[in-house]
Amino acid sequence: MNQVINAIGRNLPEYIDGYGKVRPFAGAFATAPDMPRQAPKVKQIFPGEQKLVADLETVFKRIPITDGMTLGFHHHLRNGDGVVNMVLAVAAKLGLKNLNIALSSVFPVHAPIVEHVKAGVVTGLDTNYMSGPVAQAVSRGLFPRPVILRTHGGRARAIECGQLKIDVAFIAAPTADDYGNLNGVNGPAACGSLGYAMPDAQYADHVVAVTDNLVPYPLSPVSIPQTRVDYVVKVDCIGDPKGIVSGTTKITRDPVGLKIAQTTAKVIRAAGLIKDGFSFQTGAGGASLAAAYYVRQMMEESGVTGSFALGGITGYMVEMLEKGLFRTIIDVQGFDLDAIRSLATNPNHLEVGADFYASPFNLGAAVNKLDAVVLGATEIDTGFNVNVVTGSDGVIMGGSGGHSDAAAGAKVTIVVANLLRGRLPIIMDSVLTATTPGETVDVLVTERGIAVNPHRPDLYEKFQAAGLPLKSAEELKALAEKIAGRPESITTRDKVVAVVEYRDGTVIDVVRQVD
Amino acid sequence: MDLRRTMLFMPGNNPGMLQNGGVFGADAIILDLEDAVAPQEKDAARLLVAQALQTVDYGDSEKVVRINTLDTFGRQDIKAIVPCRPDALLVPKVESPEDIKEAARLVAAYEQPGQTPVKLIALLETPCGIAEAYRIARADKRVVALAFGAEDYTTSLGAKRTKEGTEIFSARTMVVNSAAAAGVQSIDTPFTDVNDQDGLIADTELAKRLGFKGKLAINPRQIDDIHKVFNPTEQDIVWAERVIKAIRKAEAEGSGVASLDGKMVDAPIVARAERILYLAQLLGLAGGGLL
């Protein structure tokens, strides 16, 4: 098989069965768009016509959904989602085959997909993140076609550019009216922002709202409007609130995690970013929240008002908004009840689509305006390339999500990681699966020192002046190996089980089958 | 002058914590074999701490081991730990000079030829220990510091432990005074509410005002705040530099008396200024021009 080497030195097949011709990653900003925006066919509805249908089966028959179609789903209900399984059960009952599932993230709750793959109902998966039984099944080669792993911005781009053509988008709607207006802030399965569903709603040929909270017309506020929704289906329950949101998200108590978080805040300050207009993205994990905690202390001490906080939104960010530390929250996904409450009530809490958040091919994604982003890693190499797809055993346990998008957009991209994860060094010569290219990563913060990407001598000088504990990536790697030894590399089979697309649609790496 | 602004306790039976002990920036790490370890785990912890001393890089942190009291497992601890080259032992519940003398005798017996002498820090945590503080500090030349443990002390007193610490005020001043008289350091009791940052800072500020040179820490999160309090302030450094310049000028002019802002600069003031500048240089807070 002919091979091609991409810009970060990954050896890729030129052509992958079930995926097609590989466009190798050429650099974070090297590939420009060369296509028009795709649009679904124009449709109409006459006065008096109803959108509310009795059940999902009726929707399948009316559209009609046929073999080989691509069904779109979003993941705001996370591990409490009931809609994907419900829809696929109907597909299986109706004997459909060869469906492609475009689900923005896959969680353990989606385990039934595995059985649908075995039965031939589902043969393709297009997602930005996956964990649990489906991810394990993909890694072990269960899917007949390679799974496509995108970024959150990359998925929006692929939909807008027509590369990910969604035939029918199913939107899990915590609240809807009978004419198809939807929002995520009310109802028993409230999840907050519906940002990842917005490109699906805009570009799919058919849009179906599935809700368990039907309210009288017209719904207010509206996240996704009636103008883009074909059918509304009322079901008993779209999700389990326990899996959708956590009551509160908490700062880590792990002393090493706190040390890293504190150092991260010092890095942000030393980079000169703690000033009026500061913008920030961090995740909802305990260590990321801890970084936000220390950044907040610095903002308060300096009397700084930030411009916006971005990404997965937590109560902690909401509190910063309400205390005037940020003027605005830009929200593509909420993580807890406070985030939902704030989105429903605060006009400075903006709900945006995944394209607004992070698409590389439009006239302005919010990530481009970020000053600092704090991101995690399961592995990082001495070229600062990051793996957030596969674990130390080679099995898929995540995905980029917004990782590569925010890394590319932010002025300063900080990757935080324990130098030793359990008994394994986190830093190596070459990551098993490259997800985010090193050229978009500026700083690595570990508990045993900070490494600055050589392409940022400006940051190095600032950190040196601030007395931060600087080491080269190679020194950190040597230190980790001195403590924990050098891990043996993982053996994989030849079969490509997932194609990791960079946000611009080029291939940054592939994941191969493990036993 | 050894820097002991923070001495951080780490449980001696937790391999993960022992491995990471050096990353928090504490001036000293105390690998604990006493209160953090259950009696049935004492032998395993002793082995683990011995291994950690020989294999883990604790960077710039001083390596201190808190042994058990000599009437429990302390003798076995000294035998196993001293050859592994700790910098110091923290001896708990010291009540008399004899306790220290016995510990020192055992340490000497197990030190290897050519080994840097192991220092002793006496942990005073009973009314007897406080009453004997000065004699304990003078009991052996290995003693470099007196540390105060308020929890056991107040239990012995039958006093209620409070955040304000009025019940331990006299013990604190006794420890500070005894240590200063004996020419060793004084280390304050830990602040036990790890979630009360303001309380920690206030308590550390009080300790500094009383004359303590450092504070025991029970959580890595406490380190930065304690350091901030014990570090010389910019104002301190400017003052110290002016004192030293004034004394140099007086010396150059052949005058035996220097004055600054209308006040005489005498020997204790010079000593205080020198200590501030020494600390400032050690911590990278000032240049090295004057000392």
Residues of chain B neighbouring A447 (CB-CB closer than 8 A): 20, 23
Same domain, yes or no: A281 and A423: yes
What pLDDT shows up at residue A248?
Answer: 65
Q: Which of A244, A270, A285 is the last residue of a domain?
A: A244
What pLDDT shows up at residue B101?
Answer: 98
CB A309 within 8 A of CB A339: no
Tokens 């970024």 appear where?
A151
What pLDDT shows up at residue B287?
Answer: 59
Q: Kindly state the helix (H) or strand (E) to which residue B273 belongs, with its residue range.
A: helix B267-282
What pLDDT shows up at residue B186?
Answer: 98
What pLDDT shows up at residue B270?
Answer: 87
The phi, psi pair for A240, rounded to 5°, reads -100, 110
| Residue partners of A8: CB distance under 8 A and separation at least 6 | A25, A383, A385, A434, A437, A438, A508
Residues of chain A neighbouring B56 (CB-CB closer than 8 A): 483
Q: Would you say residue A250 lies in a domain?
A: no
- Dihedral sign for Cα atoms in the order B53, B56, B62, B64: negative
Same domain, yes or no: A173 and A316: no
| Residue partners of A215: CB distance under 8 A and separation at least 6 | A175, A176, A177, A186
Q: What is the pLDDT of residues A502-513, one digit of tens each?
A: 999 999 999 999
Q: How many CB atoms lie within 10 A of CB A295?
A: 28
Q: How far out from the chain centre does Cα B215 lie? A: 6
Q: Is pLDDT at A12 greater than 90 in this prediction?
A: yes
Q: What is the pLDDT of residues A445-465, one digit of tens each?
A: 999 999 999 999 999 999 999
CB contact under 8 A, B220 and A448: no
Q: Which of A182, A212, A244 is the last residue of a domain?
A: A244
CB contact under 8 A, B24 and A420: no
Of A255, A448, A467, the CB nearest to B221: A255
Rounded-to-integer distance, Cα A327 and Cα A305, Å: 7
| Residue partners of A381: CB distance under 8 A and separation at least 6 | A427, A428, A429, A430, A431, A438, A473
For residue A92, which amino acid is it?
Answer: A
Residues of chain B neighbouring A482 (CB-CB closer than 8 A): 57
CB contact under 8 A, B220 and A258: yes
Q: Would you say residue A17 lies in a domain?
A: no
Rounded-to-integer distance, Cα B291 and Cα B274, Å: 7
What pLDDT shows up at residue B141?
Answer: 97
Q: Would you say residue A358 lies in a domain?
A: yes
SS3 of B133-198: the string is HHHHHCCCCCEEEEEECHHHHHHHHCCCCCCCCHHHHHHHHHHHHHHHHHCCEEEECCCCCCCCHH
What pLDDT shows up at residue B200?
Answer: 97
Q: Does A346 touch chain B (CB under 8 A)?
A: no
Compute, in degrees rounded to 10, the torsion defined by CA atoms A454, A456, A457, A458. -170
The phi, psi pair for A58, rounded to 5°, reads -65, -40
CB contact under 8 A, A467 and B219: no
Domain count, chain A: 2
Q: Is pLDDT at A471 greater than 60 in this prediction?
A: yes
For residue A389, which amino acid is it?
Answer: V
| Residue partners of A227: CB distance under 8 A and separation at least 6 | none
CB contact under 8 A, A258 and B221: yes
Q: Mean pLDDT over residues B206-226, rounded? A: 96
Q: What is the pLDDT of residues A353-364, one digit of tens each?
A: 999 999 999 999
Q: Is pLDDT at A247 greater than 70 in this prediction?
A: no
CB B53 within 8 A of CB B63: yes
Q: What is the pLDDT of residues A251-300, one digit of tens each?
A: 888 889 999 999 999 999 999 999 999 999 987 777 788 899 999 999 99
Best of B23, B198, B228 to disrupt the A interface by mutation (most A CBs within 10 Å)? B23
Q: Does B23 touch chain A (CB under 8 A)?
A: yes
The strand order across the sheet containing A214-215 reads A182-183, A175-177, A214-215
Q: Is pLDDT at B1 greater than 70 in this prediction?
A: no
Tokens 């429903």 appear where?
A344
Same domain, yes or no: A422 and A463: yes
Q: Is pLDDT at A66 greater than 70 in this prediction?
A: yes
Same domain, yes or no: A240 and A259: no
Q: Does B224 touch chain A (CB under 8 A)?
A: yes
Q: Mean pLDDT over residues A66-81, rounded? A: 97
What pLDDT shows up at residue A281?
Answer: 96
Q: Does A483 touch chain B (CB under 8 A)?
A: yes
Structure tokens at A42: 């124009």
What pLDDT shows up at residue A214?
Answer: 98
- The residue range of the domain holding A391 is 255-493
Q: Kindly state the helix (H) or strand (E) to which residue B11 belongs, with its residue range.
A: strand B6-11
Same domain, yes or no: A175 and A46: yes
Q: How many CB atoms lie within 10 A of CB A318?
A: 25
Q: What is the DSSP letter of A383?
A: T
What pLDDT shows up at residue B76?
Answer: 97
Q: Would you say residue A86 lies in a domain?
A: yes
Best of A259, A301, A420, A468 to disrupt the B interface by mutation (most B CBs within 10 Å)? A259
Same domain, yes or no: A238 and A337: no
Same domain, yes or no: A411 and A333: yes
**Whole-number average pLDDT of chain A:** 95
Of A255, A420, A482, the CB nearest to B24: A255
What pLDDT shows up at residue B118?
Answer: 98
Rounded-to-integer distance, Cα B146 and Cα B132, Å: 11
Q: Mean pLDDT over residues B134-157, rounded? A: 97
Q: Mean pLDDT over residues A351-380, rounded? A: 97
A184-193, A237-246, B247-256: which has the minimum mean pLDDT?
A: B247-256
Q: What pTM was computed for the model?
A: 0.89
CATH of the domain at A176: 3.40.1080.10
Structure tokens at A504: 């611009």
What pLDDT shows up at residue B288?
Answer: 54
What pLDDT shows up at residue A271?
Answer: 98
Q: Is pLDDT at A250 greater than 80 in this prediction?
A: no
Residues of chain A neighbouring B19 (CB-CB closer than 8 A): 420, 483
Q: Does A290 touch chain B (CB under 8 A)?
A: no
Chain A to chain B Cβ contacts (< 8 Å): 23
Looking at chain B, which residue has its C-alpha nearest residue A465? B284
Q: Would you say residue A505 lies in a domain?
A: no
Q: Does B60 touch chain A (CB under 8 A)?
A: no
Same domain, yes or no: A53 and A130: yes
Same domain, yes or no: A347 and A467: yes
Q: Does B192 touch chain A (CB under 8 A)?
A: no
For residue B152, which amino acid is it?
Answer: D
Rounded-to-integer distance, Cα A129 and Cα A73, Å: 13
Rounded-to-integer distance, Cα A460 and Cα A464, Å: 6
Q: Is pLDDT at B289 greater than 60 in this prediction?
A: no
Q: Mean pLDDT over residues B143-149, rounded? A: 98
pLDDT band at B33 (very low <50, low <70, confident <90, very high): very high
Separation in Å, CA A149 to CA A152, A403, A430, B281: 10, 12, 20, 53
Query: What ipTM was assigned to the predicted interfaces of this complex?
Result: 0.78
Please tell me which residue, B276 or A309, carries the higher pLDDT value.
Answer: A309
Same domain, yes or no: A278 and A233: no
Rounded-to-integer distance, Cα A123 and Cα A19, Å: 12
Q: Does A478 touch chain B (CB under 8 A)?
A: no
